[in-house]
Amino acid sequence: MELSQIKRVRIEKLKNLQAKGILPYGGRFECSGPISQVLNHFEDDKKVTLAGRVTAQRKHGKVIFMDLEDQTGKIQLYLKAEIVTPGHFEIVQEMDIGDIVGISGELFKTQKGEKSVRVLKLTVLAKSLMSLPEKWHGLKDVETRYRQRYVDLIANREVRELFIKRSRIISYIRSFLDRRGFLEVETPILQPIAGGARGRPFKSFHETYEMEVYLRIAPELYLKRLLVGGLERIYEMNRNFRNEGISPRHNPEFTMLEVYQAYGDYEDMMRLTEDLVSSLVKEITGNLKAVYQGKEIDFTPPWPRRSFAAIVKDRFGIAPEDSAPTMLKKVKAKRGPVKVEQLTRSAVMKIVEDLLEEEATVNPLFLTDYFTFLSPLAKTKPDEPLLAQRFEFFVAGLEVGNAYSELNDPLEQRRRLTEDREDDPEDSARAIDEDFLTALEYGMPPAGGLGIGIDRLVMILTDSPSIRDVILFPLLKPVEKT
């Protein structure tokens, strides 16, 4: 039966319900508990009131079996004409798979021992006009699953479990930081100047103030203002937006955790990262190991450290003082032709970083000693000013986190931001955040700062190959009209 015909049949059933005086889109319905609770504390003849979606239906004359499913589980319903409240069996005849109903009844076990509910009363809460896919797992067009995530969630319990796990991950991170005395804060998403990271922003216009605004690419500069203001341990679970490419590892809208600790440095952030992530893994998996795309990852701390500068020197012969043409020449000598749209040191090093990311180990790894010109917001190493007090951490070839000893010298910060704009043509068109520099002039305590990509972390802990698998509604191309 074609979808249009199925919809017509269901609309006819909807009209039949209305003709019987039934409201097909009911209101508040109070349950005695979730289905999982009923199953875990099952007692014969116990009265229950449940609500959920009908996911299966089997008719045997004047007996109908249904599967009722809510967020927590699934239970079988047993509806018999002689038992159900008068008139309700006729209502059941108009029910379809996908309908949302509320039921009242008594618990019992069938002859095969299946836990079930002997339904006495049924209430229609939402009549479904669309047919659920019978073989959703067999769909080859994964974009349909992303585009109609609501159907994906209905049809695939494992997808629901994934996003429930994502929620648990975020809740655990918050509780971990709260226990350590960090304060959760919120900073602007609409910003007059896009700063705090490199990235192409989304631009908009505020009509009342007649000013251009940007969706934030990072919250860092506002969080540092709060350090100036005396909030010494802060974090933000934030949404960022970058008008850039889309891939299995990148989405234009993504979730980041940023943490700042006054009177600390990047070494403190390294220990915090190990403690946070390893304890999170244990909370989610029950131990310190997880499997990602067929490979076992051991999160047991301490994690190994390797020098980015040393690796780049060894693999490509590149030194931090090299010019952009020299760097590019050395990369080509090792890897052959590479394309660089703008010949800058940062653009060449982006290619190098991508190559190194592909070769990263499966187990967690800290890369330290990043070039200073790649880290305009980080302090330099006292004995090696061309290298920054910075690390990135990688898991299973994915760059998951980034941290600095935060630069708090306002004069040096101005010089570094100016230098960074000159090195990056895209950044050079944007203004330096003068208010941020003014804030630094009031005095910002030395601090460690950490950023963790939540979407990528969830990918690893849910064994998901694409970032779009762990974002409820990823950005997709518009559907082409035929």
d(CA 240, CA 196): 11
Q: What is the pLDDT of residues 346-376, one digit of tens each?
A: 989 989 988 887 777 899 999 999 999 999 9
Task: Check residue 198 and give its pLDDT.
Answer: 84
Banded model confidence at residue 38, pLDDT cuts 50, 70, 90: very high
Peptide bond into 302 cis (omega under 30): yes
CATH no. of 3-126: 2.40.50.140
pTM: 0.93
Task: Check residue 431 and give its pLDDT.
Answer: 82
Do residues 189 and 242 make contact, with C-beta atoms less than 8 angstroms apart?
no
Q: What is the pLDDT of residues 302-351, one digit of tens each?
A: 999 999 999 999 999 999 999 999 999 999 998 888 888 888 999 899 89
Average the pLDDT over 263-273 and give the result.
98
Range 154-304+361-469: architecture per CATH = 2-Layer Sandwich (3.30)
Q: Which of 245, 263, 276 is nearest to 400 (CA)?
A: 276
C-alpha distances in Å from residue 339, one per residue of 10, 45, 401, 427: 56, 72, 27, 20
Contacts of 438 (CB under 8 A, 6+ apart): none
Task: Check residue 428 and give its pLDDT.
Answer: 47
Do residues 227 and 204 make contact, with C-beta atoms less than 8 angstroms apart?
no
**Which own/partner pairs from 320-326 qualify as long-range (CB within 8 Å, at least 24 positions apart)?**
320/371, 320/372, 320/373, 320/386, 320/387, 321/386, 324/348
Crossing angle (nearest 10°) for helices 157-179 and 454-461: 120
Q: Does residue 48 register a pLDDT over 80? A: yes
Banded model confidence at residue 138, pLDDT cuts 50, 70, 90: very low
Task: Check residue 141 and give its pLDDT.
Answer: 65
Q: Which amino acid, 422?
A: E
C-alpha distances in Å from residue 49, one per residue of 88, 105, 110: 16, 7, 19
Q: What is the pLDDT of residues 400-451, one digit of tens each?
A: 999 999 999 999 999 999 988 877 655 545 689 999 999 999 999 999 999 9
Q: Does residue 480 register a pLDDT over 80? A: no
* Environment class of 456 (CB within 10 Å of its CB; exposed 0-12, middle 13-18, buried 19+): buried
Contacts of 49 (CB under 8 A, 6+ apart): 29, 30, 31, 32, 102, 103, 104
Task: Check residue 140 and give its pLDDT.
Answer: 45
Contacts of 5 (CB under 8 A, 6+ apart): none
Q: Does residue 16 register a pLDDT over 50? A: yes
Q: Does residue 135 register a pLDDT over 60? A: no
Q: Which of 428, 338, 324, 329 is nearest to 376 (CA)?
A: 428
Q: Which amino acid, 183?
A: L
Average the pLDDT over 174-184 and give the result.
98
Q: Does residue 104 register a pLDDT over 80? A: yes
Q: Which of 29, 67, 26 is nearest to 50 (CA)?
A: 29
What mean pLDDT, rounded, does the chain reach?
A: 93
Average the pLDDT over 176-181 and give the result.
98
Residue boundaries of the structural domains of the chain: 3-126, 154-304+361-469
In terms of pLDDT, which residue wins out, 225 or 141? 225
Residue environment code for 50-73, b if the CB has 16+ CB neighbours within 10 A, otherwise e = bbbbbbebeeeeeebbbbbbbebb
